[in-house]
Amino acid sequence: MTVRQEQDRHVAEETVPPTRAARELELKPREFELAVQLGEVRTVAAGPGGRRRVPRQEIERHRSAEGFPKALRTRLWVVGTTEGAELLGIGPARFARLARGGCFAPVRFYVNRYRVVVWSYLASDLADFADGNPEMLTGRTPALLKAALEKHPDRRARGWRARRIDQLTAQAGDPWERAAVPAAVLDPGELARAVPDPDERAHLCALRPALLPSRPDATAAREVVDELLLAEDPDEIEWYRHCLAAALARARAARPAPGLDRPPAASPPPPAGEWKPPAADGERAGERARPSRWCAWLRRRKQRE
């Protein structure tokens, strides 16, 4: 048995496939998918094709935790505009303004039969926002929110993209895979300008992760989704080009792209100064401590259902 075969056998013995992991964690398929995206459930690469499996220790960690499985499912509780507004004690119109202004980022979406994008949010994210910004929930619309909406009328798509890019970067296992993540939200023209070397560009395209596990079958819905997958505003595009340039430099330092037997073409320098995405768009899920008051309330609500 080769070393690689022995490693694959060991991984298979110490891990389980996603379907079995979801069953043992008492999660529905979409809940499990979200748990993996958010880093609630850790996965490891196993076998050819980059397939992911769940370590047995990860399953035991959750199953032995206090409040399992309700505590885990509460952290994965997803709400739409109506229920989110109810949780915050505000009207749907105000909730929509807060969401469009980037006060909290959506965690998923779907396109309905009218080609309208329907966004969903983590209830725990809304709890964080409410505890940290109570002044945003009452009275007149704050001036900062008005200014944000004037500059970008709807930040929901870019907030979702930022969240997915964070998640995919955390899951990437090697420098070239990490460089391929910001490349995933740049259209072909922008990618060519950011990575002029065709061999490097082809390698990044081959490694580029999917932001969605699957795309809609209907052509009309697929067109809507395709627009949501790419950065659109100039400042957002510039930010991801900056991220790509930095990641590409680290990847080149680690090793050249496969088949590259010459110095790569120079990429355009990143913009001067330190680039930072809008705070609400670029935050990692789970970065801040959960407020105990709201989390307790959310758990009680879920237990009553």
How far is residue 204's CA from residue 264's CA, in Å, rounded to a whole number? 13
pLDDT score of 276:
40
Coil, strand or helix: which one is 119?
A: strand
* DSSP code, position 140: S
pLDDT digits (tens, 9 = 90+) for 21-41: 999 999 999 999 999 999 999
Cβ atoms of 231 and 185 within 8 Å: the answer is: yes
What are the φ/ψ torsions at residue 147 (nearest 5 degrees)? -65, -40
pLDDT score of 299:
47
Please, what is the end-to-end C-alpha distance for the chain in angstroms? 52
Q: What six digits make up the tokens of 85?
A: 């507004």
pLDDT digits (tens, 9 = 90+) for 262-277: 566 655 554 444 334 4
* Burial classification of residue 231, based on how many CB atoms lie within 10 Å of its CB (0-12 exposed, 13-18 middle, 19 or more buried): buried
Q: Concatenated DSSP letters for 2-37?
A: -HHHHHHHHHHHHEE-HHHHHHHTT--HHHHHHHHH
Beta pairing, strands 52-55 & 15-16 = antiparallel
Q: What six digits make up the tokens of 167?
A: 């998640």
pLDDT score of 273:
42
Q: Which range (45-54, 190-199, 222-231) has the least confidence?
A: 45-54
Residue 78 binned pLDDT confidence (cut-offs 50, 70, 90): very high
| CATH class of the domain at 77-154+298-304 | mainly alpha
Q: Where are the domains of the chain?
A: 3-71, 77-154+298-304, 158-277
Considering all CA atoms of the chain, what is the largest pairwise distance in Å, rounded to the nearest integer?
70
Q: Concatenated DSSP letters for 209-261?
A: PPSSS---SSHHHHHHHHHHTS--SHHHHHHHHHHHHHHHHHHHHH-PPTT--
Nearest to 264 by CA among 203, 183, 185: 203
Res 111 pLDDT > 60: yes
Res 284 pLDDT > 50: no
Share of the chain above pLDDT 90, in %: 73
pLDDT score of 292:
47
pLDDT score of 128:
96
How far is residue 194's CA from residue 192's CA, in Å, rounded to a whole number? 5
Coil, strand or helix: which one is 120?
A: strand
On average, the pLDDT of the chain sits at: 86
For residue 75, what is the enclosing H or E element?
helix 70-75
The torsion region of residue 200 among left (phi > 0), alpha (psi -120 to 50) and beta comes to: alpha
